[in-house]
């Protein structure tokens, strides 16, 4: 296929490996080069080659990632979504919120959202005059009641959530958001585009912390926004170019605020994206085995994994996702016991973050979710969260057996 060929009807992994990643036209290099450069020679004033002028505005390595992640999130056969790569997941979120919110606006956010997303909405946007309501997204009546016609601009969805793995109905939430004149954003970090395609279910915007599964190797921090074709600014708000396109507004803000992904970070993230499908298959298989094993363990009081029949969102997850993901949370009865388990594993590394090839264990209450202690988003103190990696599953089970004693 040549540069302009269309990967939109190919399968997920074919798109992740090829979209935006044609062999280099001058050398034939099969992997996009790292364009470690800030500026570009012009052929006469304004004579840009391929539109490149300055690397905050655009850089070819970043373009490759933006094209590939947009293709990965575009439902098969649908009009192409537009992708934007940032220096972190929170930078992507911040850019999106600035593009579509004004003082006086309102956001509905899940009551178990990722702590950093909640902090951004509550403590950064709050002082700029944006207020929010935190609700349980699995309660559609509560969501409907929280949406304020003419004032709520964004319904923020995370499914499955971090760390309680709540599952919510993207299609039903999209209908509620749109009826209230709000945009539906889905944080697809946990599921990844391989397991869940929010745009096919009605989402306007998808956000990723590509630091997690998309990067996949715990070696780069990054974020991405993918905007569905045709997504329009909420509440009749104008994009800075006078139009109504959310993608154009995000493009303007990405360049104006400048929290872009650097070339090497974009290259690493793109390298991860190519193997996302095969890695997720193994993450899911291992997580399923770990969750089933924990459920039988006498010291474990509750296992939270959408793939278990005991999970309240199991049926919905089966409908909405290809598989159930690599995250497993469980409760052991007391904070003391949880801290002890976290300190005794050897294969599972005690660390924040998730989504890498190596297994991680953490205590959300004292670690990733310490910033939401005392708020509506506080998590149980006996909760342990696992990011199940792609090691050999027998070694993971033996490690947990040792740690649970």
Smallest distance, ligand PLP to C-beta of residue 355, A: 8
> Of 89 and 364, which CB lies nearer to ligand PLP in the complex structure?
89
Q: Is 84 in the site for ligand PLP (CB under 6 A)?
A: no
Omega cis (within 30) before 160: yes
Sheet strands side by side (includes 383-387):
302-304, 327-331, 383-387, 360-362, 349-350
Q: Which uninterrupted H or E stretch holds 314?
A: helix 314-320
Smallest distance, ligand PLP to C-beta of residue 193, A: 14
Smallest distance, ligand PLP to C-beta of residue 269, A: 11
Site stretch for ligand PLP (CB under 6 A), options 52-60, 87-95, 128-136, 231-239 = 87-95
CB 260 within 8 A of CB 60: no
Which two three-digit tokens encode residue 243? 């139009």
> Of 209 and 345, which CB lies nearer to ligand PLP in the complex structure?
209
Hey, is 54 helix, strand or coil? strand
Q: Is 212 in the site for ligand PLP (CB under 6 A)?
A: yes
Residues facing 206 on adjacent strands: 186, 226
Instruction: Give the residue ranges of DSSP H helices in 55-160.
Output: 60-73, 89-100, 115-119, 140-146
Q: Is 227 in the site for ligand PLP (CB under 6 A)?
A: no
**Which residue in the set 32, 83, 89, 234 belongs to the binding site for ligand PLP (CB under 6 A)?**
89
CB 365 within 8 A of CB 258: no
CB 313 within 8 A of CB 138: yes
Parallel, antiparallel or unpaired: strands 223-227 and 205-209: antiparallel
CB 123 within 8 A of CB 115: no
Smallest distance, ligand PLP to C-beta of residue 123, A: 15
**Which residue in the set 211, 218, 254, 286 belongs to the binding site for ligand PLP (CB under 6 A)?**
211
Given the residues 212, 305, 385, 399, select the one marked as catalytic. 212
Omega cis (within 30) before 163: yes
Smallest distance, ligand PLP to C-beta of residue 337, A: 25
Q: Is 88 in the site for ligand PLP (CB under 6 A)?
A: yes
**Which residue in the set 209, 269, 320, 359 belongs to the binding site for ligand PLP (CB under 6 A)?**
209
**Which residues in 113-142 contact ligand PLP (CB under 6 A)?**
114, 116-117
- Beta-carbon contacts of residue 172 (< 8 Å; ≥ 6 apart): 140
Q: Is 59 in the site for ligand PLP (CB under 6 A)?
A: no
> Of 245 and 356, which CB lies nearer to ligand PLP in the complex structure?
356
Q: Residue-wise over 55-86: b if at least 16 C-beta within 10 A, else e? A: beebbbbbbbbbbbbbbbbbeeeeebbbbbbb
Q: Is 221 in the site for ligand PLP (CB under 6 A)?
A: yes
Smallest distance, ligand PLP to C-beta of residue 111, A: 14
Smallest distance, ligand PLP to C-beta of residue 356, A: 12
- Does the annotation mark 187 as catalytic? yes
> Of 32 and 215, which CB lies nearer to ligand PLP in the complex structure?
215
Residues facing 361 on adjacent strands: 350, 386
In the complex, which residue's CB is closest to ligand PLP?
A: 89
Q: Which of 158, 177, 153 is nearest to 111 (CA)?
A: 158
> Of 220 and 239, which CB lies nearer to ligand PLP in the complex structure?
220
- Does the annotation mark 98 as catalytic? no
Hey, is 152 helix, strand or coil? strand
Given the residues 15, 62, 112, 114, select the one marked as catalytic. 114
> Of 7 and 213, which CB lies nearer to ligand PLP in the complex structure?
213
Residue 261 DSSP symbol? P
Q: Which of 34, 65, 84 is nearest to 250 (CA)?
A: 84
320/94 Cα distance (integer angstroms): 27
- Does the annotation mark 114 as catalytic? yes
Given the residues 111, 187, 248, 323, select the one marked as catalytic. 187
Site stretch for ligand PLP (CB under 6 A), options 3-11, 86-94, 144-152, 195-203 = 86-94
Site stretch for ligand PLP (CB under 6 A), options 27-35, 111-119, 133-141, 241-249 = 111-119
Q: How many residues bind ligand PLP (CB under 6 A)?
A: 16
Which two three-digit tokens encode residue 12? 């997920």
114/88 Cα distance (integer angstroms): 14
- Does the annotation mark 24 as catalytic? no
CB 324 within 8 A of CB 305: yes
**Which residue in the set 55, 63, 67, 162 belongs to the binding site for ligand PLP (CB under 6 A)?**
162
Active-site positions read 56, 114, 187, 212
Which residues make up the interface to ligand PLP (CB under 6 A)? Answer: 88-90, 114, 116-117, 158, 162, 187, 189-190, 209, 211-212, 221, 223
């Amino acid at each position: 296929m040549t540069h302009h060929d269309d990967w939109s009807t190919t399968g997920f992994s074919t798109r992740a490996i090829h979209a935006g990643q044609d062999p280099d036209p001058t050398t034939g290099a099969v992997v996009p080069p790292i364009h470690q450069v800030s500026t570009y020679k012009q052929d006469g004033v304004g004579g840009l080659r391929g539109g490149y002028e300055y690397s905050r505005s655009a850089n070819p390595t970043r373009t490759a990632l933006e094209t590939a992640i947009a293709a990965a999130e575009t439902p098969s056969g649908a009009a192409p979504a537009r992708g934007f790569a940032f220096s972190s997941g929170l930078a992507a979120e911040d850019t999106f919120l600035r593009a579509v919110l004004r003082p006086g606006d309102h956001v509905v956010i899940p009551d178990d959202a990722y702590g950093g997303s909640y902090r951004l909405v509550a403590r950064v946007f709050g002082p700029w005059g944006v207020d929010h309501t935190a609700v349980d997204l699995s309660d559609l009546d509560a969501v409907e009641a929280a949406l304020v016609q003419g004032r709520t601009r964004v319904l923020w969805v995370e499914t499955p959530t971090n760390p309680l793995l709540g599952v919510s109905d993207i299609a039903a939430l999209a209908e509620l958001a749109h009826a209230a004149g709000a945009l539906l954003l889905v944080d697809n970090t946990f599921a990844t585009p391989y397991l869940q395609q929010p745009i096919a279910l009605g989402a306007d915007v998808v956000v990723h912390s590509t630091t997690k599964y998309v990067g996949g190797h715990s070696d780069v921090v990054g974020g991405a926004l993918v905007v569905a074709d045709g997504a329009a600014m909420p509440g009749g708000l104008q994009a800075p170019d006078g139009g109504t396109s959310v993608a154009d507004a995000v493009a303007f803000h990405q360049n104006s605020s400048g929290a872009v992904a650097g070339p090497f970070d974009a290259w690493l993230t793109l390298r991860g994206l190519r193997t996302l499908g095969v890695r997720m298959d193994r993450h899911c298989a291992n997580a399923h085995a770990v969750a089933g094993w924990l459920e039988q363990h006498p010291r474990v009081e509750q296992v939270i994994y959408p793939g278990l029949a005991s999970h309240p969102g199991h049926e919905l997850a089966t409908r909405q996702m290809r598989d159930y993901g690599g995250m497993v949370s469980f409760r052991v009865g007391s904070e003391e016991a949880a801290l002890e388990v976290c300190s005794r594993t050897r294969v599972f590394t005690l660390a924040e973050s998730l989504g890498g090839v190596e297994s991680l264990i953490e205590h959300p209450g004292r670690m990733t979710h310490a910033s939401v202690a005392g708020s509506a988003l506080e998590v149980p103190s006996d909760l342990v969260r696992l990011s199940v990696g792609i090691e050999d599953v027998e070694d993971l089970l033996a490690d947990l057996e040792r740690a649970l004693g």
